[in-house]
Amino acid sequence: MKILQAIYQYQTGGGSLQVVADLATAARCSEHEVTVLAKDADVSEAIAAERFFTGNKLLDGWRLWQRLQRENYDIVHVHDRYCSLLLRLIPQVPASVQTNHIAYRTRRRLTRFADCVVGCSKAMDRHHAEFFRLPPERRALIPNGVYFRSPNLERAEALRQQLPASLRSRQICLTVARLSEQKGHAHLLEAIAQLPHSLRESWCFVWAGDGELRETLQLQAKQQGVSQDIVFLGQTSEVSEWLSLADAFVLPSLYEGLPLALMEAMAAGLPCLATDIDGNQELLHQGENGWLCQARDPKALANALEHLLTDEELRSRLGKQAQADYWSQWTFDRTWQQYEALYQRLASRSRGLGVRGWGLGKISSPTPSP
């Protein structure tokens, strides 16, 4: 098949961007032809995204229409609201898929111009059914997945040596997330400040990721007296190495789709603490393969952190089960198999029609909607 992936942003960081990259890689490995269009192209060994979008909707719609006329794609797969809007502007599109990576409320008509709208979690699929009023034949549930990326252990040890000397012998509690309000770092920072001093002396908190709140959070850490316990890594391509160094993982998000960072921590066999919200709840089951606590509640987060970080036996048990659950449920191979099956069904039904998908007939969801 000839597949077009379109996302308005393509830059380092962000779960939806990783999904696009992994889909393109998997499709090429399955001998499909793939093009990725984006606004900010980040070219790596795994994927080459073409810098295409300008931010001018009329111009981008016209250019996309010309591209579709010229290239004769079998599938167009869009990954954000901007690209969904462009589908509305184009008179004829091939079979189309729209994946929403996080719940949002916008004008319902933006979902009318894809043949199938994919939710990356059960909560997202419910959102599509209840808010967007999409019938079962217009939506599919395809859970996110991640590839397991083996760490370079020699490089990991070198990274440990780059930590401040006072932190090198401490155990590491890792967080991988953009420094944005959504990810809840401010609440985690308050929780760390509430931990017993003796516990903070034996653990350090490493934050991988960058964002608009970095300076604010660094100032808050100084004001709370915990700046010596937190390492702001910034954006890093060495997440696998940091996961191999870590002894625990925490994700204090306020809302999520289906978080890839949490899946990666599970794949690494880490005991995970996350907020009790949609998405996280589908990955972690309290006391079985992880620990959940109330969102937006630094005191509850502090109590959960103290419980996890002081109980080595609990951490070992949760980490082992999390890793087993990753391999049985959350590998990207499972995600790709479902997307490929959806692509093939849509393409076979639209081939030769040259019209939008309302005439394609019923679409069977790769994973039954609840």
Burial of 196 (0-12, 13-18, 19+ CB in 10 A): exposed
**pLDDT given for residue 92 in this prediction:** 81
The SS3 assignment for 164 reads coil
Q: Encoding tokens for residue 31?
A: 């001998």
- Cβ distance 12 to 84 under 8 Å? no
Give every CB contact of residue 171 below 8 A, 6+ residues apart in sequence: 202, 203, 204, 247, 248, 309
**pLDDT given for residue 14 in this prediction:** 75
- Which pLDDT tens digits describe the chain residue by residue (370 residues)? 999 999 987 555 678 889 999 999 999 999 999 999 998 766 454 467 888 999 999 999 999 999 999 999 999 999 988 998 898 888 888 999 999 888 765 555 555 668 999 999 999 999 999 988 999 999 999 999 999 999 999 999 999 999 999 999 999 999 999 999 999 999 999 999 999 999 999 999 999 999 999 999 999 999 999 999 999 999 999 999 999 999 999 999 999 999 999 999 999 999 999 999 999 999 999 999 999 999 999 999 999 999 999 999 999 999 999 999 999 999 999 999 999 999 999 999 876 454 444 334 444 445 544 4
CATH architecture of 153-329: 3-Layer(aba) Sandwich (3.40)
32: how many CB neighbours lie within 10 A of its CB?
A: 16
**CATH of 2-146+331-359 given 3.50.50.60, 3.40.50.720, 3.30.70.1070, 3.40.50.2000:** 3.40.50.2000
Q: Give me the amino acid identity at 248.
A: A
* Domain locations in the chain as residue ranges: 2-146+331-359, 153-329
Q: Encoding tokens for residue 50?
A: 């073409």
**pLDDT given for residue 49 in this prediction:** 83
**pLDDT given for residue 40 in this prediction:** 74
Burial of 319-357, coded b for 16+ CB within 10 Å and e otherwise, reads bebbbebbeeebbbebbbbbbbebbebbbebbeeeeebb
**pLDDT given for residue 362 in this prediction:** 43
Is-same-fold flag (2-146+331-359; 153-329)?
A: yes
Q: What is the DSSP letter of 162?
A: T
Give every CB contact of residue 158 below 8 A, 6+ residues apart in sequence: none
- Cβ distance 119 to 128 under 8 Å? yes
* Type and span of the H or E element at 36: strand 33-38
**pLDDT given for residue 111 in this prediction:** 56
pTM > 0.85: yes or no:
yes
